[in-house]
Amino acid sequence: MPVDWDDFMSDIDERIDHAAKKTDDRLASEISSVSRLTDEEVKKMFPKPTDVKKLAELMTIVNGAQRRNTKINQIVSNSEKFAGIILTLLKKFA
């Protein structure tokens, strides 16, 4: 089933605003539902709601319909924002 990324992102901002210091269970569940990560992995790897938002933005770019070069350019343009997220993911999968 394809993911509606616009719908996915529209709900993320509201959840992040209401999250305190830890990623709430529902937010972790949403990320895990569109990734290969479990709820617990999301909470452990991205305990800050702002990091979960960055992860969601990165996932939106990676899974978007744009061409590969466009995706690469978007990631490079936001490299400072995504750097920590990318490192965390690579540590998990490398």
Which letter, b or e, does each residue of 30-61 get, where b requires 16 or more Cβ atoms within 10 Å of its Cβ?
bbbeebebebeebbebbeebebbbbbbbbbbb
User: What mean pLDDT comes out for the span 37-56?
Assistant: 91
- At residue 22, the pLDDT reads 57
Burial class (CB in 10 A: 0-12, 13-18, 19+), 23: buried
Q: What is the pTM of this model?
A: 0.75
pLDDT beyond 70 at 70: yes
